[in-house]
């Protein structure tokens, strides 16, 4: 039996937790959207009963759930998913590019995103991307891995 890949397990768990937080925003409403940095516009739409913030949150939660499944598949916890190697590389790249957005000056000109939110969220997303990067690299090196 191949030992599970703790890096991909950590990345998958973090992706799953982020998916749950997005779903919690749907239940929690405008105050949750504000707290988690969705921006005042999204919070106001939620207050007015618009479906747009909920559809965004649901879409992101679904995507994060798929990403968690890919991490767990790469770690050997669930069956091998299609295009596993490519999927893990793309997911890693998306996380790391999102983390790098904190260095884009245009991000800080957006009044709906606070500097604190961008720094914290980019740090968290970088950590998740790092888990995926190391886990994917280790799995790729393992002849029976990804």
C-alpha distances out from residue 126 to 25, 91, 102, 113, 132, Å: 22, 12, 10, 18, 10
The count of residues in the chain is 146
Give buried/exposed letters for 113-128 (b at 16+ CB in 10 A, else e). beeeebeebbeebbeb
Assess contact for 92 and 130: CB atoms under 8 A: no
Q: Give pLDDT tens digits for 26-35.
A: 999 999 999 9
Q: Within 10 A of 8 (CB to CB), how many other CB atoms are there?
A: 28
Q: Give pLDDT tens digits for 104-143.
A: 877 666 666 667 778 889 999 999 999 999 999 999 887 6
Q: State both tokens at 114.
A: 């606070």
What pLDDT sits at residue 130?
98
Please check the confidence at residue 61 and state whether its pLDDT lies above 80.
Answer: yes
């Amino acid at each position: 039996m191949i030992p599970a890949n703790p890096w991909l397990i950590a990345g998958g768990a973090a992706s799953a937790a982020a998916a749950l937080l997005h779903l919690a925003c749907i239940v929690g409403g405008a105050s949750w959207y504000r707290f988690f940095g969705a921006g005042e516009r999204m919070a106001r739409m939620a207050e007015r009963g618009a479906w747009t913030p909920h559809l965004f949150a649901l879409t992101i939660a679904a995507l994060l759930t798929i990403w968690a499944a890919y991490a767990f598949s790469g770690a050997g916890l669930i069956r091998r998913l299609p295009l596993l190697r490519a999927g893990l590389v793309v997911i890693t790249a998306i996380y790391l590019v999102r983390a790098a957005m904190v260095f884009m000056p245009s991000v800080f000109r957006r009044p709906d995103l606070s500097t604190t939110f961008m720094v914290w969220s980019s740090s968290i997303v970088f950590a998740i991307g790092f888990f995926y990067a190391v886990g994917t690299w280790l799995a790729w090196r393992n002849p029976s891995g990804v």
